[in-house]
Each structure stands twice: as C-alpha cells, then as structure tokens.
Structure 1
Amino acid sequence: MVQVTAGDLDVGLADIGPSDAQAVLLLHGWPYDINSYAEVAPMLADAGFRVLVPHLRGYGTTRFRSEEGMRNGQQSVFAFDAIALLDSLGISRAIVAGFDWGARTASILAALWPERCCGHVAVSGYLIGSQAANAAPLIPAAELAWWYQFYFSTERGRLGYDRYRKEFARLIWQTASPLWNFDDATFDRTTASFDNPDHVDIVIHNYRWRLGLADGEAKYDDVERRLAQRPTIAVPTVTLEGDSNGAPHPDASAYRPLFVGAYEHRIITGGIGHNLPQEAPRAFADAVIGVDRAAIKAGWHAEVPSVR
C-alpha cells in the first residue's frame, strides 16, 4: 500500500507488479473496497501487468487534502479522481476495469477519455446515468430494489447509515450476492474502510445526486450533460455478469448498441453475485487479460485521438 497525492486527494492504493508494465486500474464500488480485488490483483501482476487498486474518495486511507470544500459523490467526479491518479503516477494509458460504482467510472473514462484507456472491463455493462433519466419512475418491483436510495434521501437515512454502516453493508452483500458464502474475516477487512471520515458524506451525496435531491459542482456540468446523452464506447470492452446478481442491473441486450468497438459479453456461472471480482477472481482476471489481447489485435494500444 502507498499514498499518492492526486488532485484533491491523498489516495491510498495498492500498486503491484512491474512498474514499467501495462497498467491496469481496478475500481471498486459500494459497499465494498479494494479487498474485492485481493485475489485478482496478484493474478494480473503474475501475468505481467502493473496493477493499481485505489480506495475511492471516502474509503480506506484516501483523504481530502483540504478540510474545506464539498464532499462530492456525483458520478463524474470519480473519473476525474482516476485521471488525476494516473497523471500523478505518470501513466498515460491504462486498462480500466470495475464493478458497481467502479464499473460506472471505468465506462465514463472509456467514453469520454478513450485516449487514456487501452481496454475496458465493466461488470453489469453500461451504468452511466443522468439525473434526468433517474427521474423517470420504474415499476414498483424495480423501485423496491432501490429502497436504500430513497432511505438515503432522508435525514433519518443519513443518521441510520452513519450509525449502522456495517449492518447496512452486510445486508447489501447478502441481497446483492445471495449465494456468496463470505466469512466474518472477509467482511471485516472491507468494512474497516468505512471508518473514513468522509465516507458517509460521499455515499449519501452520491445517491441524493442521482435523484436530483442534491446539487453537484458547476465545474462538472458540461461533463454531466455529455454523459446524459449516453455516449458510445469504442475502447475494446469485455462486459461481465454473474448468474446470481441480486442487485439492480440492466439486461445485456439493453446496452449492447452502446459498445461500438471490439466487444464481448461473458456470463459467469456458479452462483456469482454482484461483487464479481471477489466471488469469481479468475473470471475477472481473465476478462482483463482477454481485453488486453483484443486491444492489441485491434491496434488500440497505438495512440487514439481525444474526443474531448
């Protein structure tokens, strides 16, 4: 583990593998942390990659460099954090991969900053959203799956999450991955990351922003407008889905047209739920290796023009 100054943050991350190798940026979600990649990362390092696994803002040892300023959790800010980290490490291009919040961030990078990417792996496919799209009501059964989003919109929900962070995480783990038989030691390693002083603010703002109940920062407005238009992704991509994912997720057919480059979708069987890299680490590592090969075949490792 190392600490790296990057943009607004002092980022805690695991950095393993050859320093001059092809970089892979692995991004976690909520309520999870870098331990989702505890087995994936050494697999990829053994395969010859430099593997970077950062704690997101509000998690683990990542801290804001200033006590002042907004604790912003809107979707675009995590992509800017990732770019700042790559810049700080002197890495021009990386394979970007993730699940949950991390999948959304990886897709934003691939969509708007393809010149910084040379491969893209996303669990549950295309998760880029917008406040306008999120304003549209779903059928009641689908709304039920998002119960915590509405809970977090209240002050009672903020207080409840602050008081019961670990109990909340256990419930989400169990419902999102109903067949994952994780032990207490695995759970405790991750939930220690939620003791971060900014964790609750980031989580609550993330979900309130999605529903239009909290403002983002004006400097990200243009990027959010572009993301709301559902930009296509040309970066070579592998999308993954577990056969027992209990969390809300789109059907693969809904996002297939949004990937316009080399593309493959893989269903991972065996009772695999939402936290796919931790439940099926070999399958996730193989997807990263596979997308790297696809990128080489497609010539994507050569320089590509910016779309900004």
Structure 2
Amino acid sequence: MTSQKAITLCNGALKFSAIEQGSGPVVLLLHGFPDTLETWSEQIAVLADAGYRAIAVATRGYEPESQPEDDDYSSAALAGDVVAWMDELECQSAHIIGHDWGASIAYAAAMAVPERILSLTTMSVPHAGRFLAEIHKYPKQLRMSWYILFFQTPALAEFAVKRKDFAFLRWLWRTWSPGWDFEEQDFERVVQTFRRANVVESALGYYRAAVGLDSLPWRGSYDAEEAWPINVPTLGITGKNEGCIAADVFTAMMREDDFPKGLKVVEVPDAGHFPHRERPEFVNALLVDWLDHHTGH
C-alpha cells in the first residue's frame, strides 16, 4: 500500500496543506471546527486500501498561508476552494466527505458543481440551508447553538476561545461528545493549529459569514417550505449522543425531497459530534460501502 505524503493545494495565492494516500477516484476529506485535517487519521489509510486517492485538506484560514486578505469565509468562497483543488488535481469528479464545517462546505460545493461530485458524505451537520431556515422550530437546538451567536461578538469571542490555553475548545469537545475519552495528544494537535497567527479569527469568520445568510447562494426568498436541492447522492451521519446538533434534529432536517439523487441517514451508536474519531471502524465501513456503491467498485 502506498504511504501518506504531504502536498500543497492552491486557489490563486492561497495555499492549503493536505495529506494524501492511495490512487484511484479522488476523495476529498474536509475537517470541521474545532479540528484539523488530522481528524481523518483513521480514515485515510482505510480509504487508500479500498482503492481511493484520499486527500485530507486544511480548509481556508486554518494556516496563515490560506488566510485571504479580504477575510472572505463565505459559503461561495469555501466552495470555490474545493473547485480549485479539483482543477489543480486534474480530476473531473470526486467524492467529498465533510465533518461539521467541512459538511457545510460539501453542501455548498454540491450546489455549485453537482456534475463534478460523485457523492457526498456529511457528518454532524444537516443540510445547511435547511438548518439556518428551520432552527427556530427547535428550542432545544437553539439553546445548543448559543455559541453561534456568541461568536458574532468581535474581540470577546476571540478572547474567550484563547484564554487558559484554549480551555473553551476542550470544553466544546467534552460537551459535544459526552463520554468520549479522547487522547490528549489529539486535542493538543488542534490547539497547536489554533495557536498559529489569526487561525482563531479565521475560524470564527466562518460563523460570522454564515449567520448573515448573504453568502448563501441558494438563499432566494428563504421560504422555509422551499427545497434547496442537493443533486448529489448523500450519506448523512450523526452520532446518537451528539451534543452540538442533536441527532433527532439532524434527522428531521435531512429531508428526502432536498436530495433528489438519493439520501441515506445513519445514526452512529456510542458516538457524539466526532463519530469518525470516536467510532472509526463503524464509520469506515459505512464510508467504504457508500463510496464503492457510487463509484462502481
């Protein structure tokens, strides 16, 4: 089996660190918040061994080289990065697997270039447009999502995230994945990333760009009953013990009529917000079966 190697992907002047392994159909792996591309350490080799070229990428802003001068962290910009990476890799089509914010990016890319995406796998975040339009229907979820509004406060949010050596991020991991006894070294790698210049500001920029809704290309009239079709076969994965976006809310917001090319939703037992980290063998089996089904292996 081929070994992992570090590569650099670009979108104009922006440079993105990535790790790749394997050959075959391209699978782009997009991490979330607060996390890094190393979140996929248990998936990359498995996907490579299954006949895929797995590429985990550090998304926009998570390193100084990928921080845009105009601070554009809109949905359109993030989707544009994915398209640029595919062009640079000279792959006409790819599978996309995204967790948390990576899932949101995956939805945006699917809406921008559905003809170039073989399949989506989205973890822990339901259909992004549906979530923003309907969160008010779920008082429990509004309470759970308090941090999104808190992240809109300039300077204060940055201070809160950074204080006591990023204790807030540790609290999020414990709250979002209750019962998960994560390895300290894994969390420390995340902290190392957030210590880098302007990474905290960039990560919060995702939330600040999203809440205004203006960046969402499918906004339209934003009628809650309107469908925002994802014309790509989609596998949605949520943890049964999810503490960020509740599993029942995730399932309710993943509607078949929003996914005309097919939708499958799986709840991972004994897992919270990071199912691929917490239950890698369970999730890896799902991923390989899903990718094979939509590749023709």
Q: Give the TM bin, normalised by the shorter chain.
A: 0.7 to 0.9
Q: Are residues 101 and 209 of structure 1, via their aligned partners in 2, closer, same or farther at CA, if it must alter by over 3 Å? A: same
Q: CA deviation at 1:163?
A: 3.8
1:79 positional shift? 1.1
Shift of 1:294: 2.6
Structure 1 residues 263 and 127: alpha-carbon distance in aligned structure 2, compared to 1, 3 A threshold: closer
Q: Which runs of 5+ in 2 are unaligned?
A: 1-5
Q: State the partner residue of 2:3.
A: none
Distance 1:41 1:137, change over 3 A: same
User: What letter corresponds to residue 264 of structure 2 in structure 1?
Assistant: E
SS of the equivalent of 2:56 reads: strand
User: Cα gap change, 1:7/1:230 in structure 2, threshold over 3 Å: closer, same or farther?
Assistant: farther
Partner residue of 2:236? 239
Task: Find the counterpart in structure 2 of residue 121 from structure 1.
Answer: 121
Whole-Å separation in 2 of the counterparts to 1:130 and 1:251: 10
Residue 219 of structure 2: aligned partner: 225
Aligned partner of 1:147 in structure 2 is 146
Quick one: distance in 2 between partners of 1:140 and 1:264? 26
Q: Indicate yes or no: 2:107 matched with 1:107.
A: yes
Query: How many angstroms apart in 1 are the aligned matches of 2:137 and 2:72?
Result: 26
Change (3 A) 1:144 1:131: closer
Does structure 2 conserve the Cα–Cα contact (< 8 Å) formed by 1:39 and 1:281? yes
The answer to whether residue 32 in structure 2 is matched with residue 29 in structure 1 is yes
Q: Could you tell me which residue of structure 1 aligns to residue 185 of structure 2?
A: 185
Match of 2:288 in 1: 289
Instruction: Tell me the CA shift for residue 293 of structure 1.
Output: 2.8
Q: Distance in 2 between matches of 1:240 and 1:107?
A: 14
- Partners of 1:164 and 1:230 lie apart in 2 by 43
TM-aligned CA deviation for residue 105 of structure 1: 1.2
- Does residue 43 (structure 1) correspond to residue 46 (structure 2)? The answer is yes
| 2:64 and 2:199 in contact (8 A); partners too | no
Let me know the Cα RMSD of the aligned residues: 2.7
What SS does the aligned partner of 2:228 have? coil
Give % identity.
Answer: 26
Contact 1:95 1:117 survives alignment (8 Å): yes
Q: Which residue of 2 aligns with 1:53?
A: 56
Distance (whole Å) between structure 2 residues aligned to residue 248 and residue 100 of structure 1:
10
Number of residue equivalences? 285
Which consecutive residues of structure 1, in runs of 5 or more, have no partner in the other structure?
302-308
Larger relative CO (CA 8 A, sep 6+): 1 or 2? 1
SS in 2 for 1:291: helix
Q: Distance in 2 between matches of 1:8 and 1:225?
A: 29
Partner residue in 1 for 2:89: 89
Alpha-carbon contact 1:60-1:192 (below 8 Å) kept:
no
Q: Which digits, 9 at most, give the CA deviation of each residue in 1:218-262, with x for residues without a partner?
A: xx67x2536956521232222111111111243413322212223
- 1:7-65 CA-partner distances (Å, limit 9, x unpaired): 341110001112xx11000111000111210011111011111011000112147534x
**TM-score where L is the length of structure 1:** 0.82
Please, what TM-score do these two structures have when normalized by structure 2?
0.85
Aligned partner letter, 1:235: V
Amino acid at match of 2:283: F
Residues 17, 74 of structure 1: alpha-carbon distance in 2 compared, 3 angstrom cutoff: same
